[in-house]
Amino acid sequence: MKNVKKSAFFVFTVFTLITVATIVITTCKAPVGSNIDKDNIGNSLPDTNSGETRLVVGMYDASPQASARSVEIPNNGKGIQGIESLILTVREMVVIDSNDNHITILDEERTIDILGVSRSEPVILSDVSIEPGVYKELRLVLNDENTITINGETYPIRIPSGEQSGLKLKGPFEIFNGKLFTLMIELNTDRSVHWNQGQGYSLRPVLNIETGANVLGIFRGNMTVSGNIGAGETLVQLNDDGTARMQVASYPRYTVRGQYYYNSVTKILTLNDFDLSGPKMSGLRKRKIMNEFPNEVNLPVKQWSPNDIIAIDTSGVAVNLQRVDEFNFNATFTEFTLNVDYPDSSANGKEVAAVIEFIDTGMTTQTITGTIEGSRFTENVLIPNNYLLESSTRLRIRAYLFDDPEDLNTEVGVYASNLTEIMSGSRFSASTVNPWQEEQIYTLQRNGSGQEFTVEFPRRLNIRMEHENFTNNNPVVSWDAYPGANGYFVLVTMSNKDFDKTLGNTGGNRPYKPLFYQHTYNTDITIDSELIRFIEEDDNPPTIDVGDKIVIEVYALDNSGILDSANKKGAFLMNSLRVTRR
């Protein structure tokens, strides 16, 4: 196991955010929902080593009926049945900026059959680099060889003004530096085709225009964290307002959001303004994680194409992403509900970490963190199916409670190419691990539904002592009843400076010697000072002085009748109380 010394989701900056870098470039090549054919784009494809602000212009048929079209003729009320194709040839496209400069964005003929070209798969007429700025008009100039086919017969179709000055689409359109700007032209065929006696068919286009989509692109790939220590599947979605969201398959319920900006001159993508969201994440936990994020990440662009992007990550590794249609993983998941129960409400609001161990597959542990509400923490857990391998796998689940959330610390690790969060250097106040009881093993069914597992913190005895002076008082020790206990065994041990002298210790841990023990069926006991004695004879038993350490252990006995503390047998559990004589 190799660890990256960062808090649990730092990986999103060097791993997930690398994905963002490459994706911004890709979105500059394809509008949402389009499946771009390289043959349609032709010479408009940019050189793969370039990176510019880009303008994409596309067109599709916006008629309400996708088949069996019927176009009404306003003049005589007769209908045109059986329109099979409408062939248009675009010979030039020009945009006009705010200074009346005419910029040609298409200077070669493009012939298209507009019928059947849907909004989800538009025809791309132009995809070019362009100067950022405000443009007030787009002109679409067609040639005079356009045709319409009806019931197997092909006829010429006139396009008034479209063959001279061009069809004019008014702006303004503001194109930002380093971003993709899309213009999608809707041609409503049903409302645009006309027929006149003696003139034949004509096209007076009813056009609408969309200036880009809310989602510019979604991309997926297996990203390398650094060097060759592992990779994981990552998703990134970029929005036209400069925002992005990112997820990694190992932790699919956590999302990183941020801002992006691509400089087309330096070919550097800048990522910043990061935020993290996840289920039941406390504000303190979030702040601790976000403190590990850099303020800004700058990534150079190496290459882009419509569906395959390469950028260089912060460790110098080339990373590759593929364009996809949906924001979801290739990986499949098995879901189960995890409950972590505390015996009472005293842990309400405290941090808890549940560690899931995969017994059969040997995959690294998964760590789930959150906050106890009342006496329970509940989380719907998604486990990648490559963690299960077979139809089912056995799990060991342990939970840890933290009185102070600052005591919960984690690191990112990679095991079998999967990211994982590992507790490291944490100081927990309680654990579901009870050495006196055999741990429960849970079986997770692959792709099973309605699966629910519950782990419980052991009920505590809450040992209390009335006095803290063993010499002059008879202290009363009491505790809470434990369900099913067959009585209790109480053991008192002590350590003081006289023991140190006897054993010749000069420092370190002091030895503890038994002072008192007793079996009882009650939940309290009086420790009679006169009964305190050393089990091993000592000619000069020391007194219990101020500052001496005393440990009181209470065992909740089971029905075996034998107490073996070395092998943790004979009791449901043991709790202890440490006191110092005042």
Please provide the DSSP assignment of 363-377 as one string. PPPEEEEEE-BTTEE
Query: pLDDT value at position 347?
Result: 93
Question: Distance between CA atoms of 322 and 221, rounded to whole angstroms?
Answer: 6
Question: Distance between CA atoms of 386 and 232, rounded to whole angstroms?
Answer: 12
Instruction: Assess contact for 178 and 55: CB atoms under 8 A.
Output: no
Phi-psi region of 443 (alpha: psi -120 to 50; beta: other; left: phi over 0): beta
Number of residues that make up the chain: 582
Question: Distance between CA atoms of 337 and 448, rounded to whole angstroms?
Answer: 11
Helices (H), 150-262: 189-192
Question: Distance between CA atoms of 20 and 40, rounded to whole angstroms?
Answer: 27
Please provide the DSSP assignment of 480-520 as one string. ---TT---EEEEEEEE-HHHHHHHT--SSSPP-EEEEEEEE
Which structural domains are found in the chain, ordered by start? 2-27+216-324 (2.40.128.370), 40-210 (no CATH), 333-456 (2.60.40), 464-580 (2.60.40)
Please provide the DSSP assignment of 214-250 as one string. SEEEEEEEEEESSTTS-EEEEEEEEETTSEEEEEETT
Query: pLDDT value at position 376?
Result: 96
Instruction: Assess contact for 218 and 325: CB atoms under 8 A.
Output: yes
CB environment 73-85: b (16+ within 10 A), e (fewer): eeeeeeebeebee
Query: pLDDT value at position 553?
Result: 93
Q: Residue-wise pLDDT tens for the chain (582 aa)?
A: 333 333 333 333 333 333 333 223 222 322 222 232 323 322 222 333 334 677 888 888 877 653 334 444 333 334 466 778 889 999 999 999 989 999 999 999 999 898 878 776 788 898 888 888 889 889 889 888 889 998 888 999 888 776 667 788 887 887 877 666 778 888 888 788 888 877 888 888 777 776 643 346 788 877 654 443 345 778 888 776 778 888 887 777 788 888 877 654 466 677 788 888 876 666 666 776 677 667 777 777 676 554 566 777 666 777 777 788 888 888 788 999 999 999 999 999 998 989 999 998 877 788 888 889 999 999 999 888 878 878 999 999 999 999 887 777 666 554 444 555 666 667 888 999 999 999 999 999 999 999 999 999 999 899 998 765 565 677 889 999 999 999 999 998 877 655 544 444 444 455 667 778 889 999 999 887 666 654 445 555 556 667 777 889 999 999 998 999 889 999 999 999 888 776
> What kind and span of H or E run contains 81?
strand 79-81
Query: pLDDT value at position 523?
Result: 96
272: amino acid identity, one letter: N
CA 567, 569, 575, 576 torsion: positive or negative?
negative
Question: CA 43 → CA 30, 105, 106, 107, distances in Å?
Answer: 15, 12, 10, 11
CB contact set of 493 (below 8 Å; sequence gap of 6+)? 512, 513, 514, 515, 550, 551, 553
Alpha-carbon 404 to chain mean position = 26
SS3 at position 3? strand
For the whole model, what pTM was predicted?
0.54
Dig out the tokens for 289 from the structure. Answer: 């994680």
Instruction: Assess contact for 11 and 420: CB atoms under 8 A.
Output: no
Alpha-carbon 71 to chain mean position = 50
Dig out the tokens for 147 from the structure. Answer: 């045709």
Question: Distance between CA atoms of 362 and 137, rounded to whole angstroms?
Answer: 62
> What kind and span of H or E run contains 284?
helix 283-290
Instruction: Assess contact for 278 and 253: CB atoms under 8 A.
Output: yes
SS3 at position 11? helix
Q: What are phi and psi of 215, to 5 degrees?
A: -110, 120
* Nearest CA among 169, 58, 210, 179 for reference residue 121: 58
Q: What are phi and psi of 531, to 5 degrees?
A: -90, -10
Question: Distance between CA atoms of 48 and 55, rounded to whole angstroms?
Answer: 16
Question: Distance between CA atoms of 192 and 185, rounded to whole angstroms?
Answer: 14
Query: pLDDT value at position 158?
Result: 86
Question: Distance between CA atoms of 204 and 432, rounded to whole angstroms?
Answer: 76
Q: What is the pLDDT of residues 398-431, one digit of tens each?
A: 999 998 877 776 665 544 445 556 666 678 889 9
Dig out the tokens for 499 from the structure. Answer: 């023991």
Question: CA 309 → CA 79, 146, 180, 259, 330, distances in Å?
Answer: 49, 38, 15, 19, 18
Q: What is the pLDDT of residues 211-227, one digit of tens each?
A: 643 346 788 877 654 44
Question: Distance between CA atoms of 425 and 405, rounded to whole angstroms?
Answer: 13
Pairing of strands 153-158, 200-203: parallel
Question: Distance between CA atoms of 247 and 234, rounded to whole angstroms?
Answer: 6
CB contact set of 82 (below 8 Å; sequence gap of 6+)? 150, 151
Question: Distance between CA atoms of 63 and 533, rounded to whole angstroms?
Answer: 99
* Nearest CA among 175, 229, 174 for reference residue 1: 229
Question: Distance between CA atoms of 285 and 295, rounded to whole angstroms?
Answer: 18
